[in-house]
Amino acid sequence: MRFSPRALLVGSALVLLVLGLAVLLLGTGSLPIRPGQVLASLLGQGDSEMVRRIVTRVRLPRVLTALLVGAALGMAGAIFQSVARNPLGSPDVIGFTTGAASGAIVQIILFDAGPLATALAAVLAGLLTALLVVLLTRRTAAGAGYQLVLVGIGVGATLTGLNQLLLVTGDLDQALFAQLWLAGSLNTRTWSHVWPAALGLALVLPLALAYRRELAMLEMGDDCASQLGVAVPRARLLLVLCAVALTAIATAAAGPIAFVALAAPQLARRLTRSAAVPLFCAAWMGAGLLLVADWLSQRLAATAQLPVGLVTGALGGCYLLWLITAQRRG
């Protein structure tokens, strides 16, 4: 296996940056805690029992959820953009996040389901949405990546209309709860959110890494990948399902988080300057972006914590405008 020294250096720097941000967030809140106290509490050596409980029981699950969700979205965005050969090919742009949200809204509005049923519905609905999009683009050989984006946008727009209809016709209290869920939030995250996300990521990650070579070949085009021995339809289907599973896992844990999957792979690729698909760096970049957004959500609001999805949406919108402007100039 060949390694790029720059990619290795960037990946190591991202890991250290994310760990530093995690320690910073563990000390951020109504009771500020110094980094030394945070590390001592994590090692079980703190002097104050109250500080240890705040760090390990309240803030640590939130930070770990942010790490897992950001990593899943960053890797999912890298896979989607490589398969579609389009920088806009992220799950929130092409509708897969909307599909996962549709399953959760149906459970909340129609069945008044709890957190576990809502999360499972989000995962299943995301997978069904991906299967529908892949089937609709299966017969298109030429330009299949762009067709994936276009069909995904169309399916996402249809599901957005369905979601709004459910919110308008549903019970007021349930609609308000669904709206809060749709904002995307890391508030009140517990270990019951951490373990399912960690298990899902552990199951999907090996399969995505196993198809890393095929993913790099698909970036060169279907014809070139076929000549190099890649079974293009099978590889594309498996990779899309991996990316959708990662997106659904993230959506189930924290709700729809916008633009992390769009920005993280591109920032990782710009930093590494590597021809290979930056799955590892994209994952850590996604985790870092979500931690920064979470820190901003706690600092920007004077009286209450903003949903982190609103912060990523605002920052991601600015990034998308910059991306479009930069492409026009290029």
* Predicted confidence (pLDDT) per residue in 137-146, tens digit: 765 554 556 6
* CB-based burial, 43-57: b 16+ in 10 Å, e otherwise: eeebeeeebbebbbe
Residue-level pLDDT at 245: 86
Q: Which of 56-65, 109-118, 246-255 has the lowest mean pLDDT?
A: 109-118
- This prediction has a pTM of 0.88
Q: 306 pLDDT exceeds 70? A: yes
What pLDDT sits at residue 69? 95
Length of the chain, in residues: 330
For residue 143, count other CB atoms closer than 10 A to its CB. 14
User: Environment class of residue 304 by beta-carbon count within 10 Å: exposed (0-12), middle (13-18) or buried (19+)?
Assistant: exposed
With beta carbons less than 8 A apart as the criterion, state whether 60 and 251 touch. Answer: no
Please report, rounded to a whole number, the percentage of residues in the chain having pLDDT higher than 90. 18
What value does the mean pLDDT take over residues 252-271? 88
pLDDT of residue 301: 66
In this predicted model, what pLDDT tens digit does every residue of 154-163 receive, in sequence order?
888 899 888 8
Mean pLDDT value across residues 25-48: 85
Q: What is the pLDDT of residue 304?
A: 63
**Residue whose token pair is 């579609």:** 84
- Least confident residue range of 26-30, 88-92, 128-132: 88-92
Cα–Cα nearest to 205, from 76, 119, 99, 19: 76
Which domains, from first to last, does the chain contain?
5-15+58-329 (1.10.3470.10)
- Which residue type does 69 have? V
When pLDDT is cut at 50, 70 and 90, the band that residue 15 belongs to is very high
Q: How far is CA 92 from the centre of its chain?
A: 9
Q: Record the tokens describing residue 58, joined without a space.
A: 């309240």
Residue 286's Cβ-side half-sphere holds a number of Cα atoms within 13 Å equal to 32
Task: For residues 286 and 201, give the distance between their C-alpha atoms in angstroms, rounded to a whole number.
Answer: 14
Nearest of 315, 281, 285 to residue 297 by alpha carbon: 315
Compute the distance between CA of residue 174 and CA of residue 214 in angstroms, rounded to an integer.
Answer: 44
pLDDT of residue 1: 47
